[in-house]
Amino acid sequence: MRNWLPVLLLIALLCGLCAAMPVLEPLFRGLQPDKARVIYQRESLFFLLGHHLMLVAVSAAVATLVAVAAGIFATRPSGRDFLPLVSQVASIGQTFPPVAVLALAVPVLGFGEAPILFALMLYGLLPILRNTLAGLEGLDPTVREAALGMGMSPWQVLCQVELPLAGRVILAGIRTSVTINIATAAIGSTIGARTLGDPVIAGLVNGNTAYVLQGAILIGLLALAADSLFEALERAWGAGVAIANK
């Protein structure tokens, strides 16, 4: 329970700020006394939070499926020759700035969620793939040999031995990917996607520092909550594997 306490506290703080932001108007008024409005009210902050989470979750799910599958393929005997190619292809997504990816994707995919989902998926691939390769390649070969010697099929060895042992390392890659993409998703507001970047963009356009600060605080808290969640999951996974090995 102690591992989950920071996660619960951060989520409660995030939701509390979304609900109680109007109460903090005097504080933001002091930062921006020359503006008629200092609390962002064009969209519900809860709605923006939910949409932001949806974009990150969908892109993370797709990136995880693709990266883990590619990592498994590249670590099998039949796919080792493709290991350099797999790593290079995954690296392409992080060689382009997110803004450049959006600029190239918008003419094809249009405005809205599709271009930012595409950009987030590309940006999320590399950390997950690297950790999948590191986790699977870092296993003691004798563990696989022992499992095969017990009569397990290669598929059973992968699902029941390799992935559980490498799971904590893979989770660390997903953690890095998701945390980075929570911040990156905010630029989706520039092309019509509804995210917590809306107050930031509106504040920059109108010269309203209070709006920018509100969006930045919520994005930061969301990133901290996600990071704490994955940290707790990593510890729980490690504890589960340790118990299973006893």
- Residue 85 is predicted with a pLDDT of 79
Residue entry with tokens 């996600």 = 226
- Residue 46 is predicted with a pLDDT of 93
Percentage of the chain lying above the pLDDT 70 cut: 96
The structural domains of the chain, with segments of one domain joined by +, span 44-245
Residue entry with tokens 């939910």 = 50
Percentage of the chain lying above the pLDDT 90 cut: 43
- Residue 146 is predicted with a pLDDT of 87
Residue of higher predicted confidence among 147 and 91:
147
Q: What is the mean pLDDT of residues 67-81?
A: 87
pLDDT in tens, 149-162: 888 888 888 888 89
- Residue 245 is predicted with a pLDDT of 63
N-to-C CA span, the chain:
22
- The Cα 68–Cα 125 span in angstroms is 9
Confidence of residue 112 (pLDDT cuts 50, 70, 90): confident
Confidence of residue 198 (pLDDT cuts 50, 70, 90): very high
- Residue 2 is predicted with a pLDDT of 72
The answer to whether domain 44-245 has CATH 1.10.1740.10 is: no
- Residue 59 is predicted with a pLDDT of 94
Q: Is the pLDDT of residue 68 over 80?
A: yes
Nearest Cα to Cα of residue 210 among 66, 85, 24: 24
Query: Which 8-state DSSP code applies to residue 2?
Result: T
- The Cα 165–Cα 55 span in angstroms is 29
Q: Is the pLDDT of residue 243 over 90?
A: no
- Torsion, Cα of 117, 119, 124, 129 (10° steps): 110
Decide: 70 and 90 in contact? Cβ < 8 Å.
Answer: yes
Q: What is the mean pLDDT of residues 198-208?
A: 91
